Amino acid sequence: MADTQSTQKITSSNQISAWVKQNRARLQALTLTMALGAPFGLYWALQWGRDGAAVVFFSITVAGLIVVIIAG
């Protein structure tokens, strides 16, 4: 039974890896857009005292960094 669980994990990991390879250019374009746009939005939000928007833009920035780490 443990063997089937490890096989499922390996298969799932391989599927994710294959998806990342197929969509590398899209991920890079998305990350570039996020990396260039989010800091401007964060600056705007902080200047105008929009704390909720600042959290959203900061989250977008962090998400972009995570995509960079995953996509390699």
3-state class (DSSP) for residue 72:
coil
- What distances in angstroms separate CA 48 from CA 14, 44, 53, 59, 61, one per listed residue? 45, 6, 10, 18, 19
Whether residue 1 is predicted with pLDDT greater than 80 in this model: the reply is no
Amino acid at 28: Q
Confidence band (pLDDT; 50, 70, 90) for 3? low
Whether residue 71 is predicted with pLDDT greater than 80 in this model: the reply is no
Confidence band (pLDDT; 50, 70, 90) for 5? low
pLDDT at 44: 95
Dump pLDDT digits (tens) for 29-48.
Answer: 888 888 889 999 999 999 99
pLDDT at 19: 85
